[in-house]
Structure 1
Amino acid sequence: MKRVLLLLAEGFEIYEASVFIDVIGWNLTAGNGQTELFTCGLKKEVKSTFNQILIVDYVIDEIEIDDFEALAIPGGFEEYNFYTDAYNHKFSEIIKSFHEKEKIIASICTGAFPVAKSGILNDKNGTTYNQNPLRQEQLKNMGVNVINEPIVDDDNIITSWNPSTAMNVAFLLLERLTDKENANLIKKKMGF
């Protein structure tokens, strides 16, 4: 079984989290059955953008990196305190640990910022929210070679530029965890 850890900062965007939950879940039920997803945050209850509360499976201190094959990180809104958790040293440590063990890290939109903050995107290609030039400039100032493309994949680190890319990032993660044929099967079964 290949397990995905969905790392949630306060102020995470529900849609961007849900694509990972759905694609990995659809594969568990209707694909090769070899993926599971678990949620994690700094605390047991994590408030999303627009104030929905999610009770996570694990708090960050309970995580054993070797129990997971991939890390998924949705973006979020500054107005809902996303960067408070996203820039926490525990977030950086877990991201670095996944990278050191050569595991897949998939982020959507501003989810690229905690990845960059951890240092693992230094001098690598990446992207983030593209509808406000300030966000891409901020990522560049964090040492990232910003590429203005919907999805950028460098050294097992996937970044993307806005919520419109979310499903494709989730499908790419599934492809990496299983194979292209299986990912295409799930796309078809989900109507994409």
Structure 2
Amino acid sequence: MKTLLFLAKGFETMEFSGFVDVLGWARHDFGHDVQVETCGFQKEVISTFHIPVIVDKLINEINVDDYDALAIPGGFEEFGFYEEVYDERFLELIRAFDSKKKFIATVCVAALPLGKSGVLKGRNATTYHLGGGRRQKQLAEFGVNVINEPIVIDKNIITSYCPETAAGVAFSLLELLTSKESMEIVKHAMGF
């Protein structure tokens, strides 16, 4: 099993690390075949708060058939997050994963490009809920049935409403990729 972890400019490191650590523990300590490959628009992606990360692949090198899941951490508008996640090349990548019924897991505002891509139209999802609910209203404008809960799963898509949910989203993805029992073992081992 292979997960494509997409890093847009201005992504949040806390939301990124949840996927890396949970799937890493599952692979390294418990022998689950859950590989993670990072991807971006450029080889070095600068996160929110200016932490650089070197990605494995560029977006134009991606073949959706090579992956079982797409994971997307959210990010900050002030650091250019929406410039890349609203890029048509990324929206098309989202549509391709969804059309093949592959898992898509997002943290916080990473649900917004899913909304913009059209894959959430008429479906349940959530996104950042504080700040007067501005981001949830934006998600609703894409025809999404916004549920104000920490994590919302609708078929193959996982969305969540703030950075605090990052580990929970990663555990939800691990469960979909393996089993509830396997996820619970890893979760317990990590102290959750």
Please give the range of the TM-score, normalised by the shorter of the 2 chains.
over 0.9
Cα offset, 1:34, TM superposition: 1.1
Distance 1:32 1:190 in 2: 15
User: Residue 167 of structure 1 aligns with which residue?
Assistant: 167
Partner deviation per Cα, 1:115-167 (whole Å, 9 max, x = no partner): 11111001111100011211111111111110111111112111000011111
Distance 2:149 2:31 in 1: 30
Contact 1:109–1:163 at 8 Å: present in 2 too?
yes
Question: In structure 2, the residue corresponding to 1:15 is in which secondary structure?
Answer: helix
Partner deviation per Cα, 1:31-50 (whole Å, 9 max, x = no partner): 23211101000111111000
Distance 1:145 1:160 in 2: 13
User: Residue 137 of structure 1 aligns with which residue?
Assistant: 137
**Match runs of 1:28-177 below 5 Å:** 28-132=27-131, 133-177=133-177
Distance 1:142 1:79 in 2: 22
Distance 1:67 1:145 in 2: 31
Question: 2:18 aligned with 1:27, yes or no?
Answer: no
Cα offset, 1:30, TM superposition: 1.1
Question: In structure 2, the residue corresponding to 1:71 is in which secondary structure?
Answer: strand
Question: In structure 2, the residue corresponding to 1:191 is in which secondary structure?
Answer: coil
State the identity as a percent: 52
Q: Which runs of 4+ in 1 moved over 4 A?
A: none
User: Residue 189 of structure 1 aligns with which residue?
Assistant: 189
Partner deviation per Cα, 1:36-93 (whole Å, 9 max, x = no partner): 1010001111110001111100000001111110000000000101000010011101
Distance 1:54 1:8 in 2: 9
Q: CA RMSD in A?
A: 0.7
Contact 1:47–1:54 at 8 Å: present in 2 too?
yes
Judge which range, 75-84 or 132-141, deviates more.
132-141
Q: Which runs of 5+ in 2 are unaligned?
A: none
**TM-score normalized with structure 1 length:** 0.98
The number of equivalent residue pairs is 191
Contact 1:13–1:75 at 8 Å: present in 2 too?
yes
Distance 2:89 2:122 in 1: 22
Contact 1:32–1:182 at 8 Å: present in 2 too?
no
Distance 1:164 1:82 in 2: 19
Q: Which runs of 5+ in 1 are unaligned?
A: none
